[in-house]
Structure 1
Amino acid sequence: MAFTIGLAISSNTMAGDISREQFTSPTLGHDYPYTIYLPRGYDKDAQAPYPVIYLLHGSFGNELDWATQGNLPQIAGRLISAGHIPPTVFVMPGSRSWWVDGYNEPARSAFFDDLLPHIESTYNVGNTRQLRGVAGLSAGGYGALNFALERPDMFAAVAALSPASYVPTPPANSSAKRHPAFQNEQGQFDQDLWTRLNYTAHLEEYRFLVTPRPSSTTSDIPPVPLYISAGRRDVFDAEYHARVLRQAMERIQPGYVRLDLYPGGHTWRVWRASLPAALNFMFQYVERPEE
């Protein structure tokens, strides 16, 4: 099932088409919704597949957020038209969880086991690490970071905008404290689950995967370059947590982490402002298809 989102679009602001789709997810046991942006001139039969960026929404958000509030079609169109990034497919999935296999749904498993195969069999997009990137805002930044750390073999770059990757626990005002993904059967926030699923739990294994072996100057899997942004007036203290994240990642992959700070809070104003920088950063590492 597919239908076009009702957006005001002109050829001067967007170089592509956007639609809302869904497919049956065996992992979830219900339809998996997503919004997809196809660049102008998209050719499903082109010999070279298009790079693909997966954009994750925030807590209690949905698959429409990046298109309707994040201005993804306009921003992507401008960057493509200016030649800053190549023609790219953007996939904006919907999730009821924090992109984890939490108490309410196995969102992490559905992303890897159902969404990626569906996208790669339905659209002419890359199915290799070099042509894939993942990004997200807030809880979506939490998810994107976890995906990249857990599976560095699958993503060439990652961007986490105001990531809700709080250490050691979410602040009291964070929606993580009341989100069904982290609420146990008693309706209480499960701190142990948060600790097991947060990025800190992936760091040592990630370090092992991307660090060169003693007998070699290179690792089997390159590091996943990381872009981070945060607003200086974020009510969840995202700047502090972003600095903690940068420090942790710089120890593992010095030179492959960038942090940008913006005026503003935990709002779409900050995420819209930082998205162009995030995409420009990512396409230093995500391959451009041959002309």
Structure 2
Amino acid sequence: MRLHHLALSALAFACFASPAFAGTLADATFHSNALNADLLVNIYRPDGEPPENGWPVLYLLHGHDGDQNSWRDLGNIEKTLDGMIAAGTIRPLVVVMPGVKNSWYVNSAAVDGPGDYETAITGDLRVHVEKTLPVRKDRQGRAIAGLSMGGFGALHLAYAHEDLYAAVASLSGAIWQNVPASDLDKTPAELKLIQDSAFFHRVDRATITSGIVLPSTGDHFSGAFGTPFDARLFNEKNVFTLVAQHIAESQDLPATYLTVGDDDGFYLWRGAVALHETLQADNRKSELRITDGDHVWSLWRVSIIDALKFVDDYF
């Protein structure tokens, strides 16, 4: 690991009346075999000596057009962690924030996408962190969370690798249901045209029901699900498919925390509600919070607090 930058914060988060606590937030770079390239990472390490079995680890993921610095520069994460740990609201933990471009946290080298970032995060990065830092190496010592694209990524990685993570938190996650079989051969443009009509069904003047939450197709997928967008490939990797597989095989899923703003400009509350209903229908652990706010950092800087409390409960 090559450390490039070290930042110290001596102020506790303002909302906590507690002694000052200063963790360290450092830039790091390491080579990923899955990507055959360097992976840039920010790592928060708490102050003091680790417990005998190591600190728990949270992998914290950025959104579309973000990078490893997003939570540091826009999310106030260092100050938030310092304050919550100092107040005893959460236990000391290591937080790992990788930069993955617009990869959607899936393996996509086979379809000429951004690269095999799923393997890079769950394999290369995890192994490197556990070799170089005094952290726990068991499932109950790991959690994963993210916002927007990273919310999708956190859920995808948690459900595809349920043996690795005790809990997952999605903040304004880009969550959509599977494309129905009848629409699999539609072009991305055709899917975009029917996106709203597929969700809202006007039965009569007084009755509107909700239907399928179709993915928002466009260049924001950056080839992660094929070019052009391949609905079959999306369905294969989508969180609803993974949940269905676990239910069919009676396998455990990580405890899930979903939060989203009621004014989200991308209407991502639709997918959050649908996923929560799906998990609840099979008595899986799921918490849903719909708060006041849009798809903005001013919301995520606050909603991360309860997300951190949630994952801390499962360490």
TM-score normalised to structure 2 length: 0.80
1:236 paired to 2:273: no
Displacement of 1:168 after TM fit?
3.6
Amino acid at match of 2:234: W
CA-CA distance at 1:41 after TM superposition: 1.4
SS at match of 1:36: strand
Q: Secondary structure at the match of 1:249?
A: helix
- Aligned residue for 1:98? 104
1:207 is aligned, of 236, 242, 247, to 247
Query: What does residue range 266-277 of structure 1 map to in structure 2 within 5 Å?
Result: 266-277=295-306
Identity percentage over the alignment?
31
CA distance in 2, matches of 1:135, 1:176: 23
Contact 1:135 1:141 in 2 (8 A): yes
- Deviation per CA, 1:106-150: give whole Å up to 9, x if none: 110111221100000010111100110000001111011111111
1:263 aligns with 2:292: yes
Structure 1 CA distance for aligned equivalents of residues 231 and 311 of structure 2: 32
Partner of 1:50: 55
- Indicate yes or no: 2:202 matched with 1:162: no
State the 1:208 CA deviation: 4.3
The match for 1:177 is 218
Is the CA contact (8 Å cut-off) linking 1:132 and 1:157 kept in structure 2? yes
The more displaced of 238-247 and 172-181 is 172-181
CA contact under 8 A between 2:64 and 2:149: conserved in structure 1? yes
**Distance (whole Å) between structure 2 residues aligned to residue 180 and residue 29 of structure 1:** 19
Aligned length: 270
Which residue type is aligned with residue 182 of structure 1?
A
Larger radius of gyration: 2
Q: Counterpart of 1:225 in structure 2: which amino acid?
A: A
Unaligned runs of 5+ residues in structure 2 are 14-20, 180-187, 196-214
- Contact map agreement 1:53 1:133 (CA 8 A) in 2: yes
Asked if the contact 1:105/1:181 (under 8 Å) is kept, the reply is no
Whole-Å separation in 1 of the counterparts to 2:160 and 2:268: 22
CA contact (8 A) 2:58 2:143 kept: yes
Alpha carbons of structure 1 residues 72 and 175: separation in structure 2 relative to 1, 3 Å: farther
- CA–CA distance in structure 2, aligned partners of residues 269 and 132 of structure 1: 26
2:201 is matched with which residue?
none
Alignment partner, residue 29 of structure 1: 36
Alignment of 1:1-291 (within 5 A): 1-4=2-5, 9-13=9-13, 15-43=22-50, 47-96=52-101, 97-102=103-108, 103-168=113-178, 172=192, 177-178=218-219, 179-182=221-224, 184=226, 187-208=227-248, 211=250, 222-254=252-284, 256-286=285-315
| CA displacement 1:29-53 (0-9 Å, x = unmatched) | 110111000011145xx52300000
3-state secondary structure, aligned to 1:193: helix
> How much does 1:222 deviate?
4.3
Unaligned runs of 5+ in 1: 212-220, 287-291
3-state DSSP of counterpart to 2:71: helix
1:61-91 CA deviation, whole Å, 9 max, x = no partner?
A: 1001011111111111111011111111000
* TM-score (normalizing by structure 1): 0.86
* 8 Å contact kept, 2:257–2:287: yes
SS in 1 for 2:240: helix
Deviation at 1:153, TM superposition (A): 1.4
Contact 2:8 2:24 in 1 (8 A): no
C-alpha distance in structure 1 between counterparts of 2:165 and 2:225, whole Å = 30
8 A Cα contact 1:137 1:161, kept in partner = yes
- Cα deviation digits, residues 137-192 of structure 1 (max 9, x gap): 011110111111112111111101111021246985988621323364xx422222
Aligned Cα root-mean-square deviation (Å): 2.2
CA distance in 2, matches of 1:152, 1:31: 26
